[in-house]
Structure 1
Amino acid sequence: MTTATSAQGTPTVAVLGTGIMGSGMARSLLRDRLPVRAWNRTRSRAEPLAAHGATVTDTAEEAVRGADVVLTALNDGPSVAETLTAAAPGLRPGQVWLQSSTVGLDATTDLAHRAAGLGLVYLDAPVSGTKQPAEQGALTVFVSGPSGARATAQPVLEAIGQRTVWVGEEPGAATRLKLVANTWVINLVNSVAECLNLAEGLGLDPQLFLDAMKGGPLDTPYLQGKSAAVLSGDLSPSFALSTALKDSRLILDAAEAAGVTLDLVAASAERFTRAEAAGHGGQDMIATYYAGRPGGREAAKNRPSDEM
């Protein structure tokens, strides 16, 4: 199986979805001199990419027409399915579809069936990383799908990631690995938040805890970085709390189907839910910190429903 590429042998990439991750990946592609056609449902979020050399389109159909690789970076399964339907008139059999959104197991199966119906070469390709790695082309990309598509996809994978982990030929294998990886991250960020909550609740300066951990075997850049974000008040999203909540629910669905009990993820999802209800959904996921502050549970419970 082969697919066509541009005359120079460099694949043209249609990037569908230019939020935090999609825009970062698009800039990484452009930095590696890959032609990019970018689309976002809200066009203004894609417009800044034009200054970097991207062609910004009005429709998903226009973006994918003539592209060699279609890269989706959207929020959830329904968004990806809706975008694929909108793009369908511009798609052609043999195009490689790199589906990087975290959508869960059921949606991955559904999207693979949709891809087959359109004659697309489907690569299940969720990414591990947040805003900065996306901007730097330093993501880890988990990929499963036909090995014959590797040559076409490779320049794209090398541009957006520092590492590609080929998980297998079966669509869904990469998504399963991504859910495991996200379990680690989700539990870790809530552990950081709870330590800060407890330190403050006990009347300690949280920096004392961070200094005590610093340089030791239990220290991590993640602990220091996320704590610094909370203590400085800069909760600009590298990975939005509402997205972390969505992923927590996908993990719990997968665990239930597998007969596995994940007590920590269930507790993390509860904290994310409280923080989102209190108005922190658009902030970085370390805003789960606010779910553990004194009165945090009541503040979320009493928040007017039209603001949730």
Structure 2
Amino acid sequence: MSTTVAVLGTGIMGSGMASNLIEQGFDVRVWNRSREKTRPLEDAGAHSAASPAEAVEGAAVVLTVLFDEGVTAEVMERALPSTAPGAVWAQAGTVGVKGTADLVKLAERNGVGIVDTPVLGTKGPAEQGTLVVLTAGEGEALATARPVLEAFSAKEIHVGDRPGQASALKLACNAWVTTLTAGVAQSMAMAEALGTDPRLFLEAISGGPLDAGYAHVKGEAMLSGEYDPSFTVHGALKDLDLMVDSARSHGVAAGVLDGVRVQFKAAELSGHRDEDIAAVFEAVTPDDR
């Protein structure tokens, strides 16, 4: 008999993760606030539940891929009373360290084991099953969740036994992602404004010690002006707030992140809220471009 997995949240990331679970032979139950986003998964063989409570009934693993701590807590408060005995909650959304601690308390109040399982990667890796999963949690709960995590990941980095440790590393990684993207936008905007083909910036760093594959992915999107979302500007801003708060609360200077946040906020305010983070380029280019 196949393992039953409930996936709560089938947006950009959750839909790809759920698709891989279906392909790997899991019995997948999905729920999303917007039912329309579960239709393709239904067609692929998932059961679309009418509520979080219905989705988790009989599931051995409950995977949450929701926007933030508030949404995750609200959904799981509805779901947890219906979880099966021995079920494990794999929390994959980016909610920060404090948010994870609050969700751990929620799980404990309901007698459900929880593991901290944020992922690195965006839409493409989620669909291709090549995400990097960061894990933190106790051995038995993690062992239950691991086959599910392996279905949509190519690599696991075990951070520790305490939930929250993986989320801490996720914030550090997202600090790099957002800073790199903003940096590419700044460099390409400068090149263009100073009369140089911005594509030559990508050529100049290619193959050398300054190179990064992600710079080319986002740089090409900036050149084309096509910002099909893999990681939205709005999502990046939510994560940047978590990064800045966490850095400051631990005595880490956050000036770089503050500057990056200003650029992403400008991109959001100029109409790019739901577009890919590469749209930060539009916030640093001259108005008369």
TM-score higher than 0.5: yes
Q: Structure 1 CA distance, aligned partners of 2:152 and 2:19?
A: 9
Supply the AA of the counterpart residue of 2:76.
L
Report the more deviating stretch, 179-188 or 209-218. 209-218
Distance 2:146 2:163 in 1: 17
Partner of 2:140: 148
Instruction: Say how many residue pairs are matched.
Output: 288
For structure 2, the residue ranges without an aligned partner over 5 or more in a row are none
Q: Which runs of 4+ in 1 moved over 3 A?
A: none
Q: Distance in 2 between matches of 1:101 and 1:214?
A: 33
- Are residues 1:202 and 2:194 paired? yes
Contact 1:93 1:118 in 2 (8 A): no
Does 2:43 match 1:41? no
How much does 1:151 deviate? 2.7
Task: Encode CA deviations 1:198-219: one digit per residue, 9 max, x unaligned.
Answer: 0111111111222222222222
Which runs of structure 2 are paired with 1:1-308 in the superposition (5 Å)?
8=1, 10-295=2-287
Identity percentage over the alignment?
Answer: 46
2:3 aligns to what SS in structure 1? coil
Number of the residue aligned with 1:300 = none
TM-score, length basis structure 2:
0.97
Residue identity opposite 2:30 in structure 1 = A
Partner of 1:4: none
The one-letter amino acid of 2:260's match is S
Query: Following TM superposition, by how much is the alpha carbon of 1:31 offset from its aligned partner in structure 2, in angstroms?
Result: 1.3
Shift of 1:250: 0.2
Mapped to 2, the partners of 1:116 and 1:209 lie a distance apart of 51
Matching residue's letter, 1:185: V
Q: Name the CA distance, whole Å, in 2 between partners of 1:11 and 1:190.
A: 42
Deviation for aligned residue 1:150: 2.9
RMSD: 1.2
The residue number in structure 2 matching 1:304 is none
